[in-house]
Amino acid sequence: MSLLKSFIFQIIGVCFFVCPSFAEQNTTGKLTIARITSSPALSGSSPREVKFSPEGSRVTFLRPSAADYKVLDLWEYNLGDNEARLLVAASSITGGAEKLSQVERARRERMRITSKGIVSYSWSKDGRKLLFPLGGDLYQYELNTGRTDRLTHSPDYETDSRFSPQGNYVSYILDHNIHIVNVKSGKSRQLTKSASPTIKNGSAEFIAMEELDRDTGYWWSKNEKYIAFVQFDEAPVEISQRYEVNRDDFKVLNERYPRAGTRNVTLKLGIMTVRTGRVKWVDLGRDQDIYLARVKWLPDNSGLFFQRLTREQKRLDLIFADARTAKTRPILTEISEYWVNLEKNLKFIREGKEFLWASERSGFNHLYHYKTDGSLIGQLTDGDWVVSKLLQVDEKTGEVYFSGNMDTPLEHHLYKIKLSDRAVKKPMHISKSGGWHNFVFPEKWPEKKKNYIDYYSDPNTPVQVSIRAADGGFVTWIDENALREGHPYFPYLGRHIVPEFGKFKGPGGDDLHYRMYKPSHMEEGRKYPVIFTLYGGPGVQLVRRNWDKPYQQILAQSGYIVFTLDNRGSSNRGVEFEGVLYRQFGKIEVEDQVAAAEFLKTLDFVDPARIGVQGHSYGGYMTLMLLFQAPDVFKVGVSSAPVTEWRLYDTAYTERYLGKPDENKDGYDKSSVFPYVKNLKGKLLLIHGMADDNVIFNNTSMLLDELQKNAVQFNFMAYPGQTHRIGSDKIRKRHFLTLIKDYFDEYL
């Protein structure tokens, strides 16, 4: 969701601040909200957007500037001399000033990009150049000379830029049309032209970016002969008014927002011959009310595979389109009784004659091996666990590398399996340390240096970034981030609380996993208050053995038990575990969270009369539902940016789980918070940003009115100019976190 994406930036202590000085460091070892919203970042400064160079001799990444934590600079780690060095400082080009266009601001909001400076980049095929957008124009950095050249000089803002596959062109979107620049001649060319203001070419529509995890609308063929692109028309989408209240002005914005049950954009998929500009349109089928989820070219440039998802999202078709004729041929179909979860796990092998594919058809996400005509060769993985990402195929050794949770749903690891095995066999576990790993592999392994990047953390270890060999063996650190003297968190290690992990049988008979922080030096016989921190919706897993947010530490060190449960409906536990949310929200999740509260009441150190709850986005919705449906259990709640009425939310997310409003009126009615408002007995603090274009402010304004007309008392805080994330700067974030803690201190 939008809700899922925004959760990644949920404000409970998510801090990426890097540092001018240690001036604010508290030498007593006691964490404060002022400290966790100051520089340097307590968890260290992990490299972002890490990529291998095409030949594998370098690793490039983005890192916050020492002068301004919001500005990202471009760095490299050279494997030849094992040195990290700054390549381009963003401020050296812009002088620190950067004004985003409305289109770019909206795009970054959809992609949850909160930083400035160099926020993305791409490699040229020869590994000699790096392309990046900055301040509305495109720049090229040459590694041999260390020189940075400006490629465009447009008064408008170029977006979604990249090198073409062979490096002969730079492509980008300007005013929702595709442009290319010949790298040698510098000559630019506009490839598409919109027939009306509502028709847009090469861009990703709102729903694609917000809900389908597709942030582009054009794709080069490997030989640069063709570009496939999406053309969409926004005209069918109803125009809605959204109010944006800032510090010193008030705007009424007219936006095309596809609320649940209303019309989406109309879509076309074109294949353009770059030399001539001629376009052949792909037949997307009789049903035009669809989502175009994924597009990927075959390695031999003969055509592309696209994924067509029905409006109800129960059927996904993988379809081949011929590059020359645009004629289509169905390859395979996935069908679900609930909904089809979209994947990015399609990989062509053996020169495009075969491919690997991920499917939940067995009840859990696993890998399958196909011929390109759609005939199944075999299933590679199986079992009551989940493959999360297909990472690499070493065709020479016949080994497939992927990440998943075969060992435990609380950890994430790297595995490999033989491509040639006819029967499903147990994968080999590769990653070395217990905890949570994320991996970055090169697009294709070089012959000699078969390395990958491992992001690793556990409850005692902030994120460490290393380069590893194919067998998991350590090669070198990119960022060791060790908790030794000099690390920002080192002075606080003495009070660090390691969470406990456990599980119990939930109301549905499933094992429900939880994480619990307990105050250190607990007194025998004393009963402590509990704060539930939750999300609760589909697509998210919170209970993981990883390094957590410092705000949890502050609450626990202040005498609270901080408790998090992954209720039924959360991700990485299989289709049935997640599918229980189908057709109604706010029922199963509430049952499981209430069961967790009853479980906690059996512990002799828990005060059953002092249980609170806090959440943002879907977690804000869950906070309301728990306060309203279980008022005798949850006594204090802080709900930020909540959905209160699902008819106000967008088509793709809402209909995926609830169907259309006119087809599931009862489900929508019961999923709303409004039938339960009068039940509130405890204390409620409601929070919303007044420029939120994701969960629009009407969700909260409706609830404010409903509470008031029923004479139900509550507290409320609005943040002018703040979007769904709330806390665009560290001082506002400090205000936000202090507000929440003070509320629990006073009432819990």
* Residues annotated as catalytic (active site), given as ranges: 617, 692, 724
Q: Which two tokens stand for residue 117?
A: 């400076």
- By the 10 Å C-beta count (0-12 exposed, 13-18 middle, 19+ buried), 325 is classed as exposed
Cβ distance 562 to 538 under 8 Å?
A: no
Query: What does DSSP assign to residue 217?
Result: S
Length of the chain, in residues: 748
Q: Considering only CA atoms, which of 186, 191, 172 is closest in space to residue 132?
A: 172
Give the 3-state secondary structure percentages of the chain, helix then strand then coil, rounded to 5. 15, 35, 45
Which residues of 473-631 form beta strands (DSSP E)? Answer: 474-479, 500-505, 511-517, 528-534, 561-565, 606-616
Q: Using the 8-state DSSP alphabet, how is residue 648 labeled?
A: G
Helix (H, G, I), strand (E, B), or coil: what is residue 284?
coil
Strands 71-78 and 116-117 come out as parallel
Q: Please give the Cα distance from 264 to 259 (Å, whole number).
A: 9
CB under 8 Å to 575, separation ≥6 — which residues? 336, 338, 360, 363, 364
- If you search the block for the tokens 């199944």, which residue do you land on? 376
Per DSSP, helices labelled H in 33-186 are: 33-36, 91-94, 102-111
Tell the residue number behind the tokens 């175009």, with chain if given: 292
Instruction: Identify the three-state secondary structure at position 704.
Output: helix
The SS3 call for residue 740 is helix
Q: How far, in Å, CA of 31 to CA of 42, rounded?
A: 10
Paired with 253 in beta bridges are 242
Distance CA 194, CA 198 (A): 8
| d(C-alpha 212, C-alpha 207), whole Å | 7
**Residues with Cβ < 8 Å from 273, sequence gap 6 or more?**
225, 226, 279
DSSP string for residues in 444-502: S--SS--EEEEEEEETTEEEEEEEEETTS-EEEEEE----STTSTTGGGGGG--PPEEE
Distance CA 113, CA 120 (A): 10
Sign, CA dihedral 15-205-217-98, equals negative
| Cα 124 to Cα 52, 128, 168, 699, distances in angstroms | 12, 7, 9, 46
Q: Structure tokens of 114?
A: 């909160």
CA–CA gap between residue 743 and residue 748 (Å, rounded): 8
Chain Cα centroid distance, residue 674: 29
Collapsing DSSP to helix, strand or coil, 531 comes out as strand
150: its two tokens:
């400006």
Phi, psi dihedral angles at 732 (to 5 degrees): -65, -40
Residue with tokens 């921190």: 533
Contact 542, 535 (CB under 8 A): yes
Phi, psi dihedral angles at 342 (to 5 degrees): -70, 145
Closest CA to 369 of 382, 383, 359, 354: 354
HEC string for 321-390: EECCCCCEEEEEEEECCCCCCCCCCCEEECCCCEEEEEECCCCCCEEEEEECCCCEEEECCCCCCCEEEE
Please name the residues in contact with 365: beta carbons below 8 A apart, sequence gap of 6 or more.
341, 343, 358, 359, 386, 387, 388
Residue 24's φ and ψ, nearest 5 degrees, are -90, 5
